[in-house]
Amino acid sequence: MGGSKLLDMDPGETKPQSQTQRAVTLLREMVISNKLLPGSNHLEAELAELLGMSRTPVREAAIILEGQGLVEVRPRRGVRVLPISPKDMEEIYSILTELESLAAHDLAMKGLSDSELAELRHHIEEMEHALEKDDRQLWAQVDDRFHRRLIQLAGNRRLQTIVSTYSDQVHRARLLTLYIRPAPHQSNADHRALVEAIAAGKAEEAREIHRQHRLQAKELMIELITSHGFSAI
């Protein structure tokens, strides 16, 4: 008897992305990298042409991203990339502060392997090298990977899903303010202190370091937005 395609698949193979999943990935990247600017409006046909696919998966992707707070789908008027106001930023950072601090606490409690700690320390080295070259775009990319990896290592998938949604919005705002903020040397120092607290199993210290790190980031971001006269970014 012939086996089904499912049974014949190599266990290491991954299921190909659907057109909608691919559209979500591509459109999300265009939004969070600011290739589609906050407040901009785009017809489905325009986005479909940009992504090289039909309008149906683009429409479905836009609905998914609307649920993540990145865009607004407007019937017969296309898709609007949502800007982020200072109030939005305060709410987003308040959520991230508490959830990421919880993850830092849990990581210190359960402990990380030497290879996992080495990976986090390597990210910090990458961030420091980026600042030495004044490559803030690279710094922001690695900083984003560092924070996402912390949440991933905590092993709580629901926490990871929630944090990922809001991290996308923070990353987008950070890219727009990279060159009007002070060089983030203190951020790198906070990352190093956090990893060492986790390595030492100091759960409450790790929680507080990360909490203060995010609170300072929130204050800086809101100050940058308001002091430069932006009602939203």
Look at residue 232 and tell me if it is in a domain. no
Range of the domain at 61: 17-81
**Residues 113 and 153 reside in one and the same domain:** yes
Residue (of 179, 187, 181, 169) closest to 233 by Cα position: 169
Q: Are the C-beta atoms of residues 37 and 230 closer than 8 Å to each other?
A: no
**Residues 36 and 145 reside in one and the same domain:** no
CA dihedral (24, 69, 91, 230) in degrees, to 10, reads 100
**Residues 92 and 143 reside in one and the same domain:** yes
| Residue owning tokens 């910090």 | 124
**Residues 209 and 159 reside in one and the same domain:** yes
Task: Name residues whose C-beta falls within 8 Å of residue 62's C-beta, 6 or more positions apart in sequence.
Answer: 27, 44, 47, 71, 73, 79
**pLDDT value at residue 6:** 39
Q: Tokens for 8?
A: 């014949």
In this structure, the chain runs to a length of: 233
Domain boundary among 65, 81, 97: 81
**pLDDT value at residue 195:** 98
Taking only the tens place, the pLDDT of each residue in 26-62 is 999 999 888 998 899 999 999 999 999 999 999 999 9
**Residues 25 and 96 reside in one and the same domain:** no
CATH number for the domain spanning 48: value is 1.10.10.10
**Residues 76 and 105 reside in one and the same domain:** no
Task: Name residues whose C-beta falls within 8 Å of residue 158's C-beta, 6 or more positions apart in sequence.
Answer: none
Among 2-11, 22-31, 154-163, 176-185, name the one with the lowest average pLDDT: 2-11
Taking only the tens place, the pLDDT of each residue in 80-118 is 999 888 888 899 999 999 999 999 999 999 999 999 999
**Residues 32 and 119 reside in one and the same domain:** no
Distances (CA, A) of 210 to 38, 108, 140, 180: 28, 12, 17, 23
**Residues 177 and 141 reside in one and the same domain:** yes
The pTM assigned to this predicted structure is 0.77
CA gap 97, 45 in Å, rounded: 39
Domain boundary among 81, 98, 123: 81
**Residues 199 and 118 reside in one and the same domain:** yes
Look at residue 10 and tell me if it is in a domain. no
Domain boundary among 81, 112, 127: 81
**Residues 164 and 54 reside in one and the same domain:** no
Domain count across the chain: 2
**Residues 141 and 125 reside in one and the same domain:** yes
